[in-house]
Copies of this chain bind each other. A is one copy, B any other.
């Protein structure tokens, strides 16, 4: 597995692999398991992936973003398995010569990831119930 992992992740672990002396800006995004969703109190999450396809789509996603913002360098990692509140589910890092492109490309990466990468998550609530998240692909 290259872009998927069952280990704890953070954006910093992407950063330290990279050095881009022509880049003046690094924008990172971490999607973090939060303690509430749609008014329900969340205890933990389970992330499931269609692993082979997800790896392929994550690789395509990076290529897509770097093609659209040719000066950018993109790296990312997505965690699967069981996550607790505060755990990072996805970390994205975008280096760019100028900051505007770094922000744009980083936000586009997470927006597109949510639509194209076959990963599903199930929320476990503090009341003992659980539910698969049905994503409307609004800002969330």
A-to-B contact residues, CB < 8 Å: 10-12, 15, 19, 21-36, 85-86, 95, 97-100, 102-103, 106-107, 110, 139-140
Contact indicator A98/B25 (Cβ below 8 Å): no
Question: Hey, which chain B residues are within 8 Å of A139, CB to CB?
Answer: 98-100
Question: Hey, which chain B residues are within 8 Å of A24, CB to CB?
Answer: 31-34, 140
A57 to chain B, nearest CB (A): 19
Question: Hey, which chain B residues are within 8 Å of A100, CB to CB?
Answer: 107, 139
Q: Looking at chain A's contact residues, is the secondary structure mostly helix, strand, loop, or mixed? A: mixed
Contact indicator A34/B22 (Cβ below 8 Å): yes
A103–B106 Cα distance when bound, in Å, is 9
A26–B139 Cα distance when bound, in Å, is 14
Contact indicator A140/B98 (Cβ below 8 Å): yes
